[in-house]
Copies of this chain bind each other. A is one copy, B any other.
Amino acid sequence: MSTKVTVVKNVLDANDRLAAENRTLFADKKVFVVNLMSSPGAGKTSLLERTIQELQGTWKIGVIEGDIQDTYDADRIAALDIPVVQINTGGACHIDGNMVREALPGLNIDAMDLLFVENVGNLVCPAEFDIGEEMKIMILSTPEGADKPAKYPLMFQSSTALIINKIDLLPYVSFDLEKAKRDALILNPKLLIFEISCKTGDGLKDWTRWLNEQITALASK
C-alpha cells in the first residue's frame, strides 16, 4: 500500500505545482476562473449556456470543456459564439492542472475576463484536483437525492457555491430540499446555495447577479 500512496501523493504534489502556476497566470491576466463540477447529467452545460447568455454582454468569456471523449458540450458552447477548447481526457475521470495549462494556448486569455472549466461528470475525483481556479462551483440536481452531501462530502467541502438544479422537478422526485441544504451547510458552513432551474430559468438571476459581483470585485482590484 505504501508505494501506491506515495505515487498518489507525488501525482497530487505535481498537480499542485502546476495549479499554482496557473493561478499566478490567471491573477496576472485578471481572468476569473470557475471550476464547475457535478454528477453526469446534473446540468453543467445547461448552466453554462444560461449563465453565458446572461453575462456575455458584460464580460469576455471563454470555456474549457472536459470530457472523456466527444465534443457535444463544446459544440453547444461554440453555438453561443464563445471561444471554447475541448479537453478529451481519454478515460481520466477529472481535469487536472496540466490539462488546463495545455488547453490555454487555444484561448486568448489576454482578452478574457471569465473562464469556465467544465469538469468531467463525477462527484468524486474532480474535487481532489486543484486546477488553479478562483473557485469551485458544484451542481446537485434534485433527481440525485438529498443524501449526496453525506455520501460525497469532499465535493461540498471544497466548493464556494452549491447550485441545486432542476427544482422544476421537485413535484415529481423524492428530494428533501431542506435536508440537502442542512447537510451541505454542516459540511461547509460558508457554502452559498442557489436553487435554480436551467429549464424554466427560475432562480438564475440570483446566481448570475452574485457571480457578476465576484468578477467585478476581481476586475477592480
Instruction: Give the contacting residue for A151; candidates B68, B154, B172; CB below 8 A.
Output: B68
Residues of A in contact with B, size category: 35 or more
Given contacts A39-B40, A40-B39, A72-B150, contact A143 B122 (CB under 8 A): no
Q: Is the contact region of chain A dominated by helix, strand, or loop, or is it mixed?
A: loop
Q: How far is the CA of A173 from the CA of B197 in the complex (A)?
A: 12
Nearest B-chain residue to A166, judged by Cβ: B143
Instruction: Give the contacting residue for A172; candidates B72, B150, B169; CB below 8 A.
Output: B169
Smallest beta-carbon distance A60→chain B, Å:
28
Q: Is the CB of B145 within 8 A of A41?
A: yes
Residue in A41, A120, A153, A174 with the greatest tally of chain B CB atoms within 10 Å:
A41
Q: How far is the CA of A122 from the CA of B144 in the complex (A)?
A: 12
Q: Is the CB of A93 within 8 A of B125?
A: yes
Q: Is the CB of B150 within 8 A of A40?
A: no
Interface residues of A (CB under 8 A from B): 4, 7, 11, 39-41, 67-70, 72, 91, 93, 120-125, 128, 141, 143-145, 147-148, 150-154, 166, 168-169, 172-174, 199
